[in-house]
Chain A
Amino acid sequence: MIEICVKQSRPNFTLDVDVKLGHGITALFGPSGAGKSSLLNLIAGLEQPGSGRIRIGSESLFDSKAKINLAVYKRRIGYVFQDALLLPHLSVRSNLRYGFRHGGMELSSIVEFLGLSALLERRPTTLSGGERQRVSIGRALLSAPRLMLMDEPLASLDMERKREIFPYIEQLHKKFGIPVIFVSHAIEEVARLAQHVVVMRDGKAVAHGNTQTVMNLSDSHASRFERTSILTGKPASYDSAYGLTTLSHPAGNISLTGQLGRGKAPVRIVVKATDVTLALNKPKDISARTMLKGIIARCDVDGGPTGIVHVKLEGGEELSAALTRKAMDQLGLDAGQAVWCLLKSVSIDERWIASS
């Protein structure tokens, strides 16, 4: 259990967070300037809160009342920075060894786990972004951390490099049992990696809990472009002739491009509210391959030209659809009505997906 209850005041910005995080991977999610990175720095000890306490298990890292403020180097918290921050004057091998602490993992097993053997004698400046991030993860792991912090570890990477790093982050928890807190402002990253999420806005934690629940929660601040839903489906079949995967979902089959990994474990997909079409009757002769059945839970309109319809799908998951107010009025949409939610297969980005 990681307990974070901190207040920090700076000119024009106040951070005021009180959350308890469990094990597993937690995402700090929110727009830039929400205080996500500051929160990581407070946990690592690189910045000091004005007041509050930070505790891992029963050990206090910071407690303003008890006047405890453990020095950064005594905290045993691994930190992977957005730009890796490898020491430029040292080789990859020396970087990995820099924080080596006995009782954790051995260099050789980390090198094998992260595939670094060919890079050991290289200098950080000669590495690609993905390689640097892998070295940075290895360096933190070798310091035998009890918690890993990752500040947008994927932000500076292109899609291919991101896909290269994903499995390693997932393994941190699965394989090594190290809790991870990572900062992200990409919902697909959160859906892919995190079990828990803390949504931050203007220095406050506005929501936290299970990823799917929190991310599907209506957030009155989000514009229709930021509104997304996370659905969970089980890979059911693959059509090799067309290169399409079918996920089974209680509300209907979901069609995706490409073939997912061999596993049959449930996967999460991220659906943008602007990609969802609603129909009162199941349409025929339409190109959308995915039609999910549900009941309207709520319609959010505020007099503007657009609104959000929240549909409770069969099976209990919620899906948001962004519609014009005119369309909502002309169809007479209201809570309690049965609707079909139509999704274009091509609008779902399968590159983010993996077993959850």
Chain B
Amino acid sequence: MSLSPEEWTTILLSLRVALLATLICFPVGLGLAWLLARKDFWGKSILNSLIHLPLVLPPVVTGYLLLIAFGKKGAIGAFLESTFGLVFAFRWTGAALAAALMALPLMVRAIRLSIESIDQRLEGAASTLGASPLRVFVTVTLPLAAPGMLAGTILTYVKALGEFGATITFVSNIPGQTQTLSLSIYSLLQTPDGDAAALRLILLAIALALAALLASEFLARHLSNRMAGKP
């Protein structure tokens, strides 16, 4: 089955949105996960709840909140536009932002669990060998948390590929700009005789998701074997 130019546009846009979303989500998620796993501070459970909010809120609500904050008239949106010339509303970057926010709880959860499962005495042992806290983090914590970081990244990517509610609310459904795979399927299902075209995209979506999951399964096993010292 060969893809039409429109379908290519949609798929490439989806992959691009998901990639940017993952790139935004990874450092933020890693930082938050480390904070939650290793530090005690006032408001920790509030922060934790806030991170998980997109998981339980109706996605439309998250999208609307994004629109209020990052829209052209929103406090953050207006500031970003006047200072850095960054615009999110109704742009593909906005779609990535929405997807990143929706996937953040998954990223944080996966990395946090994996950091928490590290024997902290290993980090202590490394510091007795003269390793500074930064070196301990880079040479002990990060490699040992790698399986969780990988799982979180794949989950985020897959979640970002399929994000719908927050995206359509925040950046609307503009072909070539914000119309990702799921939005495209939705639009086709709304048009008379769009079923066949929708089906092609649905099959594609299934294939992409399955491939990503299989890849993550394979990588995770490979990584955890390496960590456990098996060949």
- Chain A residues near B (Cβ < 8 Å): 44-46, 71-79, 81, 85, 87-89, 98-99, 101, 123-126, 139-140, 143
Contacts and interface: CB of A to CB of B under 8 A. Distances in A.
A73 B227 contact: no
A84 to B, nearest CB: 9
14 contacts: A71-B127, A72-B127, A72-B128, A73-B127, A73-B132, A74-B130, A75-B128, A76-B130, A85-B121, A87-B126, A87-B139, A98-B126, A99-B128, A123-B229
A85 B127 contact: no
Interface string B110-128: 0000000001011011111
B125 A85 contact: yes
Contacts of B229: 88-89, 123-126
A172 to B, nearest CB: 16
B131 A98 contact: yes
Given A87-B126, A87-B139, A98-B129, 13 more contacts: A46-B128, A73-B131, A73-B133, A73-B136, A81-B121, A85-B122, A87-B140, A88-B122, A89-B227, A99-B131, A101-B130, A123-B230, A125-B229
A124 B144 CA distance: 14
Contact of A44 (B128, B133, B140, B143): B128
Q: Is the interface of B mostly helix, strand, loop or mixed?
A: helix
Interface of B: 119, 121-122, 124-133, 136, 139-140, 143-144, 226-230
Contacts of B121: 81, 85
Nearest to B135: A73
B128 A73 contact: yes
Contacts of B131: 73, 98-99
Contacts of B119: 85
Nearest to A94: B139
Contacts of A87: 122, 125-126, 139-140
Contacts of B136: 73
A72 B230 CA distance: 31
Given A72-B124, A73-B127, A125 B228 contact: yes
Nearest to A78: B128
Contacts of B133: 73
B129 A99 contact: yes
B228 A88 contact: yes
Contacts of A125: 228-230
A99 B127 CA distance: 9
A27 B88 CA distance: 66
Contacts of A81: 121, 125
Contact of A46 (B124, B143, B227): B124
Contacts of A123: 229-230
A79 B227 CA distance: 23
A148 B131 CA distance: 17
B126 to A, nearest CB: 7
Contact of A89 (B124, B132, B143): B143
A186 B27 CA distance: 49
A122 to B, nearest CB: 8
A87 B133 CA distance: 16
A14 to B, nearest CB: 23
Given A81-B125, A88-B144, A89-B144, A99 B130 contact: yes
Nearest to A97: B129
Contacts of B228: 88, 125
A99 B126 CA distance: 8
A143 B128 CA distance: 9
The listed residue with most B CB atoms (<10 A of its CB), out of A46, A73, A143, is: A73
Nearest to A139: B129
Nearest to A136: B125
Contacts of A79: 125, 128
A74 B133 CA distance: 11
Contacts of B130: 73-74, 76, 99, 101, 143
A140 B140 CA distance: 17
A337 to B, nearest CB: 54
A86 to B, nearest CB: 8
A119 to B, nearest CB: 12
Nearest to B120: A46
Contacts of B128: 44-46, 72-73, 75, 77-79, 99, 140, 143
A7 to B, nearest CB: 22
Nearest to A123: B229
B111 to A, nearest CB: 17
A129 to B, nearest CB: 15
A143 B130 CA distance: 7
A126 B231 CA distance: 10
A63 B140 CA distance: 30
Contacts of A99: 126, 128-131
A149 to B, nearest CB: 8
